[in-house]
Amino acid sequence: MDAFNTKRAALIAVEDMDVRPSRSEAEAAVRTLLAWAGDDPTREGLLDTPKRVTKAFGEWFAGYDGDPADILSRTFEEVSGYDDIVMLRNIEVQSHCEHHMAPFIGVAHVAYLPTGRVVGLSKIARVVEMYSKRLQTQENLTAQIAKAIMDELEPRGVAVMVTAEHQCMSTRGVHHGGVDTVTTRFDGEFKDSEELRMRFLRLAERTKS
């Protein structure tokens, strides 16, 4: 199939996905993959695997049902004039790469400069979790977190760093484990000020004792 027809087939497939497949259809797809891998989906050890896999997918990809506007909607203005960096370090990231659906696991460091109002600290972690629980690239994940905070909180600036190990690199392909991928995104005053960027990076480098 040439490139044009491949693209056309992909577009048709997307159009056919207007209605989300049912759980039974998803389980049937898992059985097909098990058979393609060379195993017998009807043997005892695999009989319940399709149900387990679809349940796991429901957890791993729950972020598609989230909305950052809802998560970040409640803010607090009683901050006694505080206008310096608010930062959360070492927010756990558990995501899956969109190219191979293999996990990538690491941490995110997120900071913003408030403009008279702040959001509950757990809400920042929830935004990270929401975007992590989707098929992702690390670059896109980093940018989405920063954009959501900029759009919803309208701070003076946002800084995000994500560090993660990708199992699509460690368990397949080049088979190199222990390799960290680092991505950053700076918006607002963090983008304009080298001093602020350096402060953020120094804080991000400090690990838990």
What's the pTM? 0.87
pLDDT one-digit tens code per residue, 123-140: 999 999 999 999 999 999
Residue 189 and residue 84 in contact, taking contact as beta carbons nearer than 8 Å: no
Structural domains of the chain, with CATH: 3-60 (1.10.286), 66-205 (3.30.1130.10)
CA distance 71 to 75: 10
Q: Chain-wide mean pLDDT for the chain? A: 91
- Please pick, among 97, 109, 136, 144, the residue that the annotation labels catalytic: 97
Half-sphere exposure in the Cβ direction for 55 (13 Å, CA)? 5
pLDDT, tens digit, for every residue of 57-68? Answer: 999 999 999 999
* 1-15, 106-120, 174-188: segment of lowest average pLDDT: 1-15
Region 15-35: what's the mean pLDDT? Answer: 89
Question: Does residue 138 carry a catalytic annotation?
Answer: yes
Of 94, 167, 168, 189, catalytic: 168
Instruction: Select which of 25, 92, 98, 205 is catalytic.
Output: 98
What pLDDT shows up at residue 209? Answer: 44
> Is 97 an active-site residue?
yes
Tell me whether residue 98 is one of the annotated catalytic residues. Answer: yes
Pairing of strands 86-97, 103-113: antiparallel
Active site residue 144: no
